[in-house]
Amino acid sequence: MKANVTYWLDETAARFPDKTAYADENKAVTFRELRERARNIACELTARGLFKKPVAIFLEKGVDVLVSFMGAAYSCNFYSPIDVDMPGSRVNKILEVLEPSVVITTKDLREVFSAYEYRGEFLLLEDVLSAGGGQTAEAGKDGLRGHGDDETAREAALEAARRRGVDTDLLYVLFTSGSTGVPKGVTINHRAVIDYIDWVTETFEISEKDSFGNQAPFYFDNSILDIYSTLKTGATTYIIPKNLFAQPVPLLEYLKEKKINTIFWVPSALIVVAKLKAFRNVDLSDTLRRVLFCGEVMPNKQLNVWRKFLPNVQYANLYGPTEITDACTYYIVDREFSDEEPLPIGFPMPNTDILVLNEKDEPVTGEESGELCVRGTSLSMGYYKNPEKTREAFVQNPLNQAVPELIYRTGDIVKYNERGEILYLSRKDFQIKHMGHRIELGEIETAVSSLEEVSLCCCLYDEKRQKIVLFIEEELEKAYINEKISRLVPEYMLPNKLIRVEKMPINANGKIDRVKLKEYI
């Protein structure tokens, strides 16, 4: 039994010491180097007396971020990444909630961080790691700083700290947007990540022969699959340069050059590739083996383009909010779908139970829709220092009155199809009452997305004027769109207003920015 994810790194570094673990544009790190550098950081944190404390990571996206994550984990502290491009007001709100005991950064970035409302301690990578990156000048055979008795004492202190930890200790806190404008810190423990990665690596048969192409920012929970599948199995993760996601052909050329066979991206990134028909320029049939996606709805129209050009690839739709350790249901695409059909989010992952509850908190029957709720090991521990929001979302299971048992209310509306698969319909927030009808805006988006001319679309509701507003990028008339989708949705669900945007706004996680679109209404 493992109580800490770093035991995976110990084992993998022993098996594949000289194999590349993570690589970015500028550097790569082997598993041995990753372990040595992480333990150097961990020793420093332990020497400062930190245990089960929040450690903020303020670094450019790259290998050093992942080294710092592991350093926090080795010392039984928990990490929280802060993006260097994040607006200052948001950083200050995160710092106010998190109150980090230390910030891991570089000398240059420390100057940037001085503009924020933080007066605590820093750990500078240059002071902990040598210029070569693996060991300090006095590093011993295990890469730990110091020598002789000092080194032995530091290692003993580090191992003592790790032995004190249990699997329900926090591993990380990721901040999501809060409805009040205050970011919510989602807390995830070691056990939840271990459970999730065990499932991922077994289901998709991940091994040391595999390589991931990372798209997700490290403050976004989709990155957990890449990071920790690599740590457990000895695979390699390439951190894809962000600018390539706006250049589909160079992006696919990068996958081919690095021999990346597994990607786990948000659908928006896959849609751009399909939209520009990049497969005609780059043949990945001998490269890609798995295409996984999560984070928003994947339209079958664009997925069918991927399936046409890469028919032998395994495709899987994963679903789950940040509060569920990345995902809780999955669907391995095993049949053909028409462009206008919704793609199922499938079935619960093992050791995860899905409850679909109606407004009376009863299990739905037939094709009745309801809110998807989750119970199991994957659940977050709650929102960091936010008991009120935690109590709202993590509630007693209404189907179990015998013992305390929390479920998480996702706020997502779903139903079962005739095959027993779960279909995502919409956010509870996107469920509207219009002309006396209860409408899921997601159903309208699915219908519009099926049109050949449309690449990205989004539906919002103008409460003041009681109008369904459709956003697209293409030069199309509302009458044309409504005529085309009238065979897919009833008349009362047809958009009342059409707004064309030059380019669909995308937020930092790669999803359509609905908050930005509301400004157009």
Domain 6-170 sits in CATH at 3.40.50.12780
pLDDT of residue 194: 98
pLDDT of residue 435: 74
Choose among 341, 370, 346, 345: nearest CA to 358: 370
pLDDT of residue 134: 39
Q: Where are the domains of the chain?
A: 6-170, 223-348, 352-424, 435-518
Note whether 215 and 509 are within 8 A (CB): no
What amino acid occupies position 175?
F
**Domain 352-424 class in CATH:** mainly beta
Domain 223-348 listed as CATH 3.40.50.410: no
Per-residue pLDDT of the chain (521 residues; tens, 9 = 90+): 799 999 999 999 999 999 999 999 999 999 999 999 999 999 999 999 999 999 999 999 999 999 999 999 999 999 999 999 888 888 999 999 999 999 999 999 999 999 999 999 999 999 998 633 333 333 333 444 445 577 788 889 899 999 999 999 999 999 986 555 578 999 999 999 999 999 999 999 999 999 999 999 999 999 999 999 999 999 999 999 999 998 999 999 999 999 999 999 999 899 989 988 899 999 999 999 999 999 888 999 999 999 999 999 999 999 999 999 999 999 999 999 999 999 999 999 999 999 999 999 999 999 899 999 999 999 999 999 999 999 999 999 999 999 999 999 999 999 999 999 999 988 887 778 787 777 888 889 989 999 999 989 999 999 888 899 999 999 999 999 999 999 888 888 999 999 999 999 988 778 889 889 999 98
pLDDT of residue 13: 98
Note whether 100 and 80 are within 8 A (CB): yes
Q: Which are the contacts of 465, defined by CB distance < 8 A and separation ≥ 6?
A: none
pLDDT of residue 180: 53
pTM of the model: 0.85
Domain 435-518 sits in CATH at 3.30.300.30
pLDDT of residue 181: 57
Alpha carbons 445 and 467: distance in angstroms, whole number: 15
Note whether 55 and 72 are within 8 A (CB): yes
Q: Do domains 6-170 and 352-424 have the same CATH topology?
A: no
pLDDT of residue 131: 36
Q: How many CA atoms lie within 13 A of 10 on its CB side?
A: 10
Exposed/middle/buried for residue 1 (C-beta within 10 Å: 0-12, 13-18, 19+): exposed
Note whether 292 and 309 are within 8 A (CB): no
